[in-house]
Structure formats: structure tokens, C-alpha cells
């Protein structure tokens, strides 16, 4: 389980670097973010929520049942939209209203 | 490496749940005091001039246990219940080995800190009459995805609080059993920090990564407890002779297999029962305390009735949709795993026990503190997972302890403030003190520079960490042995850990982040030694799985209704016992 950063989208703002609880993300000389220690990712998804250009994708390692889907979030009309891109090209959206509590 | 010297009144090490709330409390009390009475300043109180510094090795916005969020507040006094009920529950779950004074002090604050969190912006589910909706007897439902940013924002607004992010504290400055500051380094700015403080709150959390984790490969850090919580606070205290308690009461969480996501939302939220591979509900067979739920699952597997599951098949579409969202708000891996494989209405959720953690927010391991959260080192206070004696703390308990520790530390600072004025003692004393400090700084800097300059280290930090985890797993009751251990095995574990420790001096690092990894390994090794010593001391099995002593498989109430405490003496962890606090006891003071 870890993250993947699309450097062609990255604008080098450094927000993902700042927020990672393991300080695992670094910015290279070309001002692009990269994950220096991919195996040390906890899977908290903090970086994904910070990225203003949606350049970061979260995925599960194959060792814990991952099947190659990529996940990120976007803010849409005040909702947090979780976007899961499956390997077959299909996409699932789950919208969460941050003002609404969990039911369980 | 640059050397920066900082002076503050209150130093808070670790900006997680407890640390942030300690800062909020101290700052609010200070400004309130200043507003109420300017004459208090004349009496020596710092008032609004109180300088507070949080030092955090990551960034307080998402550091600590709550990075991904949390989906319920598990410690709340619901309508018709009392703090005493909560104390009784925690005491029963730990089979008596708790400090009632500590539990009372947090239970009496659960609802007040919850109200404060709501005021700061936390969303809590309410019914049509505006009352919190409860989940079971002690829990309320929230949207806690942003709980950590909420706390961090509240801290940012406080004028007298400074936050140093990405600075790793690795040693206390203690002289004559009194703390006067701490040492650390910026992991990305090539700076050594020598911090002087009037009082220190340690809030670095517990320790993960001592034992081989559930997924030792690519997903090794997919653990329940933060892999970045390395037991730094315990280790620094142990090395300076602080008394610790109950390290033998390890915490093993029952979790969703692979993702190690919480199970409470399934068990309590949709009423999913624990079933074995034959479909039999087994939880009632072993008991329902936290440790018994883990033990039952281990036992069913050992007896050939595994794997075990939480029975979710048949839940409604609406329930499933809510579960997918609830997990995104705290453990997103689980939702993704469901979507990539089978969803909970179609397939039961396999469960397993985690590797053992040392965490004072769930079990009773940690600093031996008095009711005010003072440790046995003068001027050092402990809050949250690093503080012992009060299990089942959860988020609200960590907040409550942050509050208590902050009030006590500020009281201590105000009581000792006069001593910081020019001393009646001779100039020589002051000079000697300064010389000692400079020598300490030089020695720490030299050690860091040695790690940075050493080349050709045969072993890497990662290799030694794995060796430590394997030794603990195989010989100190890890997942491999179904959490059981014998005295002979513990002796082997100790030998191996000592050997690994002797190799750490030769490690090399290319930058300060890698130096931090070396210090984290050494912290874990110190905690491992304490765990081994504690496990070897308690000659009974009071908590299955948590402390499964195969030499003494039964519970022994005659000899072991006691705390096992420890202290470092001449480089060795020495354990001893203390009598339990009395029923209903609300105050405990250290006996000096």
C-alpha cells in the first residue's frame, strides 16, 4: 500500500510533503514531489486530500488484496468525492458530506 | 549542522491529540488568568506571557493516531451513565490492573472535552431533539475525518504557542532528576535544537513496530497504530530513570485482515458477530473483554476452525453504503479493499489479531504518573498514549489528559518561576551549569555527525529493525507463537535484542531523516527490553493474548493483583511490584 505521484501534474507546491505524518514525500530539484520511502506509507491519505491538482493516487499493495485500482479525492460543491478508478477503466464515486456524521 | 538554542516556559513534545490539547488548555488558561487579574503576574505567575512550544517530528496538521480520521468517540458518558460506570468498565476489561484515580479524572472530563471539540468544529450526530446519538453505552457517532486539522487549526490561532514541525526530539535534558529541556534535530533543515524549558509535557504516543507486523512485505506499515509512533517518549524516560508501569499488558487489536482496519464499526455499528469458518458464533465461548475477543480468534484458528470473520453477509444496501463511507472517514484502505474484492453484504469480513503494540491509550502501559500526570522526573508530565495506568482512554481520554497535564505543568512553572530569577547561589554554579549544557550539546552533535560520517556499515537500520521484530515475534510472544511465550524464550529474546543493540553504534546515515531512523530503532530497542522484563515478571496469565505466559497459564489473584513497575538501574531494567490503588480512590501522590 502506498501512493503514486504523477509528476506531469505536480506543481511543486509542497503541501503533500508538509502534511505526511512520516515525512516520506520529498520535492526534487525540478520542483516535483516524489515518495522517497514508498514502503513506509501508512495509508492515511492525508497527501491525497491536500493535493490541489489531484496528482496523487493511493493504491493497495497486492500483498493486502490490492487489484490495481487508483484512488483520489476531489472537493465538489462542498462534498468530499472519493474517486476509485478500476483497472478495467470503470470509475466509482462516493460523495461524503463533511457536515454529516457517520451512521455507524 | 547549525545549533539553535530556544528558551520556553512549557515544552510539549509531540503534537498529536494530547499534545495539541495540552497547548490549547495552557494557552487559554494563561490568557484567562491575565484577563482576570493583572496582580497575579506580580505574584510571579506568567499569565499571558507564558511561552508554549510544541515540537513535532512531522506536522501537527495530520500527525499522530488521527491522521486518517476516526469515526466515533469511544469514551463518552451517555445519558443515564456516570463516570463511575466508565471506571468500572475499564477496570473490568483490564481485570483490575488500573489506576482508579487516573480513570476517574479522565471520565469526569469526557463530556466537557467533547463539547469543546464540537465548538471547535467537529461534526457529531444528533437526534431531532439535539441530543448526541449514541452507539452502545459509551460511544457517540461523529464525522472525524478532519478531527486532527480541527485541533491543529485551534492551536494555530493561539498567539503564545509556537510550533516546530519536522523536528525530532531524541533526548531529555535532566539534571538531578529534574527536567530542564530537551534535545532534537530538524530532519530537513540541518539544525540541532537545544531547548530549555520550565516544564515539559511528553505526548509522543505509544510504540508500534516492535514486533514483526501483520504484513511484513511491501505493506509493512499498513498497521493499525501509527508506524511513526516509535516509543520515543517511553525510551527517553526509561533512560533517565523514570518509573514505568504495566509494559507487560501489551495491546493486540482485533482487526480486519490485511488492511488492519478497526472492527468496532462492524461489531457495534451493524451488529456483526464473530464467527468461525463453520459459521459458529464463538465470541461468547471465550468472553467479551478486549483481550478475550482476540484470544478467541487465535484459539479458533489454532483448533482448526479458522479463518474467523465478522458476519456481515446480508446487511442492507443502505447499511453497506454507510459502512463504505464510515471507513473512508477513518481507514480508507478497507473501503477500497471491499470495492476491489467483495463488499461486506456479499462476503463476511475476515479478522485477525495485530502484532502487539505498547499503547497507554488502550491498555495500562506507560509512565507511572500521579493524578496530576506528573512523572517521577520532576517537571515532566505525561499525557495520552505515553502515560500509563488508564486504559480505554481513546480520543477523549487523550484530550482530558492533555488538559490535566497542561494545568499541572503551568501550576509547576508558576510555583518555580521565582527560581528562574538571578539565583542567590554563586556565579560559579551558573557557569558550571552552562558548561555541563554545552558539553551535552557537543556530545549529541558529535554522535549525530558520527552516524552521518560512518561509511561501509555492514548492516542497515532497516535490517536491524527487521531483526528486532523477528526476535520479538518468535521469542517474546508475537503473532507467530499465537502471542504465547515462556521464560526461556524471553531470555533468548533479551539476548538477541542486546546483540542488535550492540550493532547500532556502527550504523550510517546519509541525512538527518536517516539519523532519525537510527534513533527510532534505538528507542524501539529500549522499549523491547522493558517489555521483555515486564513479561518475565508477571508470573500469571491475567489477560489472554496480551500477556500469554505459557509457564503460568492461569490467573493468580493472590500474588498478582498488583502493578508491575520498572526503572532503569545501572543500565538494566529492574522490575518491582506496587499495591493497587484502593476502590474509588481519586487521588494518588508519588511517595518521594
Q: Label residue B304 exposed, middle or buried (CB < 10 Å: 0-12, 13-18, 19+).
A: exposed
Confidence of residue B165 (pLDDT cuts 50, 70, 90): very high
Q: Which chain A residues are within 8 Å of B145, Cβ to Cβ?
A: 80, 96, 98
**Contact flag A103-B269 (C-beta cutoff 8 Å):** yes
**Contact flag B337-A58 (C-beta cutoff 8 Å):** no
pLDDT of B417 over the 90 cut: no
* CATH number of the domain within which B457 lies: 1.20.58.100
Whether B260 is covered by a domain: the verdict is yes
Nearest CA-CA partner of B234 in B172, B154, B189, B145: B172
pLDDT digits (tens, 9 = 90+) for B338-391: 999 999 999 999 999 999 999 999 999 999 999 999 999 999 999 999 999 999
Give residue B42's pLDDT: 47
Residue B398 has phi, psi (to 5 degrees) of: -65, -40
Strand B2-13 and strand B191-202: pairing?
parallel
**Contact flag A43-B227 (C-beta cutoff 8 Å):** no
Residue B131 has phi, psi (to 5 degrees) of: -95, 150
- B422 at interface of A, judged by CB pairs closer than 8 A: no
Nearest CA-CA partner of A102 in B342, B69, B121, B344: B69
With beta carbons less than 8 A apart as the criterion, state whether B6 and B384 touch: no
Query: Domain range holding B309?
Result: 254-353
CA distance A33 to chain B (A): 15
**Contact flag B341-A18 (C-beta cutoff 8 Å):** no
Q: In what order do the strands lie in the sheet with B244-245?
A: B366-367, B244-245, B562-569, B572-579
- Among A54-58, B67-71, B466-470, B522-526, name the one with the lowest average pLDDT: B67-71
For residues B474 and B543, give the distance between their C-alpha atoms in angstroms, rounded to a whole number: 20
Helix axes B487-503, B512-537, angle to 10 degrees: 160
Give residue B225's pLDDT: 96
pLDDT digits (tens, 9 = 90+) for B115-146: 999 999 999 999 999 999 998 889 999 999 99
CA distance B268 to chain A (A): 8
Kindly state the average pLDDT of the residues B393-408: 98
Asked which of B303, B320, B353 is the last residue of a domain, the reply is B353
Whether B441 is covered by a domain: the verdict is yes
Confidence of residue B30 (pLDDT cuts 50, 70, 90): confident
CA distance B369 to chain A (A): 28
Mean model confidence pLDDT for chain B? 95
Percent helix, percent strand, percent coil in chain B, to nearest 5: 40, 20, 40
Q: Which three cell numbers stand for residue B28?
A: 487559554
Kindly state the average pLDDT of the residues B240-245: 98
**Contact flag B329-A2 (C-beta cutoff 8 Å):** no
Whether B507 is covered by a domain: the verdict is yes
Q: Give the torsion sign (CA, B454, B457, B462, B464).
A: negative
Q: Which three cell numbers stand for residue B261?
A: 482496519
Helix (H, G, I), strand (E, B) or coil at A51: coil
pLDDT above 90 covers a percentage of chain B that reads: 90
From the list A18, A65, A102, the residue facing B329 with the nearest CB is A102
pLDDT of B33 over the 80 cut: no
From the list B259, B270, B336, the residue facing A104 with the nearest CB is B270
Q: Which of residues 267-306 of B touch A (CB under 8 A)?
A: 268-270
Q: In sequence order, what DSSP letters do the residues of B63-130 get, joined into one string?
A: -STTSS-EEEE-----TT--HHHHHHHHHHHTTT-S-HHHHHHHHTTHHHHHHHHHHHT-EE-B-TTS
Strand B167-175 and strand B139-144: pairing?
unpaired
CA distance B67 to chain A (A): 6
Kindly state the average pLDDT of the residues B544-566: 98
Confidence of residue B21 (pLDDT cuts 50, 70, 90): very high
Kindly state the average pLDDT of the residues B172-195: 97
pTM passes above 0.90 = yes
Whether B342 is covered by a domain: the verdict is yes
Confidence of residue B48 (pLDDT cuts 50, 70, 90): confident
pLDDT of B179 over the 70 cut: yes
* More reliable by pLDDT, A17 or B422: A17
- Which residues on chain A place their C-beta less than 8 Å from a C-beta of chain B? 1-2, 18-23, 39-46, 58, 60-67, 69, 71, 80, 82, 84, 86, 92, 94, 96, 98-104
**Contact flag B217-A23 (C-beta cutoff 8 Å):** no
**Contact flag A102-B142 (C-beta cutoff 8 Å):** yes
**Contact flag B215-A63 (C-beta cutoff 8 Å):** yes
From the list A23, A43, A104, the residue facing B222 with the nearest CB is A43
Whether B450 is covered by a domain: the verdict is yes
Kindly state the average pLDDT of the residues B398-411: 98
Q: Which three cell numbers stand for residue B538?
A: 508477571
* CATH number of the domain within which B342 lies: 3.90.700.10
Q: Which three cell numbers stand for residue B312?
A: 456481515
Helix (H, G, I), strand (E, B) or coil at B482: coil
Give residue B374's pLDDT: 98
For residues B399 and B387, give the distance between their C-alpha atoms in angstroms, rounded to a whole number: 12
Asked which of B314, B332, B353 is the last residue of a domain, the reply is B353
pLDDT digits (tens, 9 = 90+) for B444-478: 999 999 999 998 889 999 999 999 999 999 999 99
- How many structural domains does chain B have? 2
Whether B140 is covered by a domain: the verdict is no
pLDDT digits (tens, 9 = 90+) for B71-87: 899 999 999 999 999 99
**Contact flag A94-B166 (C-beta cutoff 8 Å):** no
Give residue B38's pLDDT: 58
Q: Which chain B residues are within 8 Å of A104, Cβ to Cβ?
A: 71, 135, 141, 265, 268-270, 319, 322-323, 326
> Domain A2-96 class?
alpha beta
Q: What is the 3-state secondary structure (H, E, C) of B334-353?
A: HHHHHHHCCCCCCCCEEEEE
Give residue B136's pLDDT: 85
**Contact flag A94-B328 (C-beta cutoff 8 Å):** yes
Asked which of B319, B353, B387 is the last residue of a domain, the reply is B353
For residues B250 and B538, give the distance between their C-alpha atoms in angstroms, rounded to a whole number: 12
- Residue among A17, A28, A97, A104 with most chain B CBs within 10 A, to mutate: A104
CA distance A8 to chain B (A): 25
**Contact flag B146-A98 (C-beta cutoff 8 Å):** yes
Residues near B323 by Cβ (< 8 Å), separated by ≥ 6? A104, B265, B266, B269, B270, B315, B344
**Contact flag B222-A42 (C-beta cutoff 8 Å):** yes
With beta carbons less than 8 A apart as the criterion, state whether B53 and B8 touch: yes
Amino acid at each position: 500500500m502506498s501512493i503514486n505521484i504523477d509528476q506531469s501534474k505536480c506543481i511543486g507546491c509542497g503541501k503533500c510533503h508538509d502534511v505526511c505524518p512520516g515525512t516520506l514525500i520529498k520535492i526534487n530539484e525540478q520542483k516535483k514531489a516524489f515518495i522517497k520511502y514508498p514502503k513506509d506509507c501508512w495509508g492515511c491519505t492525508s497527501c491525497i486530500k491536500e493535493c490541489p491538482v489531484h496528482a496523487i493516487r493511493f493504491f493497495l499493495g497486492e500483498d493486502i488484496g490490492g487489484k490495481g485500482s487508483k484512488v483520489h479525492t476531489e472537493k465538489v460543491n462542498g462534498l468530499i468525492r472519493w474517486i476509485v478508478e478500476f483497472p478495467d477503466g470503470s470509475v466509482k464515486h462516493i460523495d461524503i458530506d463533511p457536515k454529516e456524521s457517520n451512521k455507524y | 549542522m547549525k545549533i539553535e538554542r530556544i528558551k520556553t516556559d512549557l515544552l510539549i513534545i509531540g503534537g498529536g491529540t494530547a499534545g495539541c490539547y495540552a497547548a490549547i488548555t495552557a494557552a487559554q488558561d494563561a490568557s484567562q488568568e491575565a484577563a482576570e487579574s493583572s496582580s497575579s503576574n506580580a505574584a510571579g505567575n506568567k499569565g499571558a506571557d507564558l511561552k508554549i512550544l510544541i515540537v513535532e517530528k512531522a506536522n501537527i496538521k495530520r500527525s499522530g493516531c488521527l491522521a486518517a480520521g476516526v469515526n466515533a468517540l469511544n469514551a463518552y458518558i451517555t445519558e443515564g451513565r456516570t463516570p463511575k460506570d466508565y471506571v468500572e468498565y475499564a477496570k473490568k476489561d483490564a481485570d483490575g490492573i488500573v489506576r482508579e484515580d487516573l480513570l476517574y479524572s479522565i471520565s469526569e472530563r469526557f463530556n466537557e472535552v467533547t463539547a469543546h471539540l464540537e465548538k471547535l468544529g467537529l461534526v457529531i450526530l444528533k437526534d431531532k431533539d439535539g441530543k448526541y446519538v449514541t452507539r452502545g453505552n459509551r460511544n457517540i457517532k461523529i464525522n472525524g475525518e478532519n478531527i486532527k486539522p480541527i485541533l491543529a487549526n485551534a492551536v494555530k490561532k493561539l498567539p503564545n504557542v509556537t510550533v516546530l514541525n519536522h523536528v525530532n526530539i531524541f533526548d531529555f535534558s535532566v539534571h538531578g532528576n529534574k527536567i530542564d529541556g530537551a534535545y532534537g534535530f530538524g530532519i530537513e533543515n540541518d539544525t540541532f535544537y537545544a531547548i530549555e524549558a520550565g516544564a515539559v509535557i511528553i505526548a509522543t504516543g505509544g510504540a508500534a513496530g516492535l514486533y514483526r507486523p501483520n504484513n511484513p512485505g511491501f505493506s509493512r506499515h499498513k498497521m493499525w497504530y501509527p508506524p511513526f509512533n516509535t516509543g520515543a517518549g517511553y525510551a527517553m524516560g526509561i533512560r533517565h530513570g523514570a518509573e514505568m508501569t504495566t509494559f507487560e499488558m501489551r495491546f493486540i487489536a482485533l482487526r480486519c485482515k490485511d488492511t488492519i482496519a478497526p472492527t468496532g464499526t462492524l461489531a457495534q455499528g451493524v451488529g456483526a458477530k464473530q464467527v468461525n469458518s463453520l459459521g459458529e458464533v464463538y465470541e461468547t465461548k471465550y468472553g467479551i473483554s478486549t483481550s478475550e475477543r482476540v484470544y478467541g480468534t487465535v484459539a479458533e484458528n489454532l483448533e482448526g476452525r479458522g479463518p474467523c470473520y465478522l458476519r456481515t453477509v446480508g446487511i442492507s444496501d443502505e447499511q453497506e453504503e454507510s459502512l463504505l463511507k464510515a471507513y473512508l472517514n477513518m481507514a480508507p484502505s478497507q473501503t477500497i479493499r471491499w470495492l476491489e474484492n467483495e463488499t461486506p453484504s456479499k462476503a463476511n469480513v475476515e479478522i485477525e489479531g495485530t502484532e502487539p503494540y505498547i499503547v497507554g491509550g488502550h491498555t495500562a502501559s506507560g509512565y507511572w504518573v500521579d493524578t496530576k500526570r506528573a512523572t517521577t522526573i520532576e517537571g515532566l508530565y505525561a499525557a495520552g498514549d505515553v502515560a500509563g495506568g488508564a486504559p480505554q482512554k481513546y480520543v477523549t481520554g487523550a484530550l482530558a489528559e492533555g488538559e490535566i497535564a497542561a494545568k499541572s505543568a503551568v501550576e509547576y512553572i508558576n510555583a518555580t518561576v521565582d527560581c528562574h530569577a538571578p539565583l542567590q547561589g554563586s556565579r560559579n554554579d551558573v557557569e558550571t551549569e552552562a558548561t555541563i549544557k554545552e558539553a551535552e550539546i557537543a556530545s549529541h552533535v558529535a554522535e549525530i555527525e558520527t552516524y552521518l560520517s560512518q561509511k561501509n556499515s555492514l548492516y542497515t537500520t532497516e535490517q536491524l529493525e527487521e531483526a528486532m521484530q523477528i526476535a520479538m515475534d518468535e521469542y517474546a510472544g508475537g503473532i507467530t507463537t499465537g502471542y504465547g511465550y515462556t521464560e526461556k524464550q524471553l531470555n533468548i529474546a533479551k539476548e538477541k535484542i542486546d546483540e542488535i543493540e550492540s550493532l547500532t553504534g556502527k550504523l550510517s546515515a546519509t541525512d538527518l531523516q536517516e539519523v532519525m531512523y537510527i534513533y527510532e530503532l534505538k528507542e524501539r530497542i529500549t522499549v523491547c527490553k522493558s517489555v521483555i522484563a515486564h513479561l518475565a515478571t508477571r508470573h500469571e496469565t491475567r489477560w489472554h493474548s496480551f500477556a500469554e505466559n505459557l509457564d503460568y497459564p492461569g490467573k493468580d489473584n493472590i500474588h498478582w493483583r498488583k502493578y508491575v513497575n520498572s526503572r532503569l538501574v545501572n543500565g538494566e531494567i529492574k522490575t518491582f511490584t506496587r499495591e493497587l490503588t484502593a476502590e474509588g480512590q481519586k487521588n494518588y501522590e508519588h511517595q518521594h
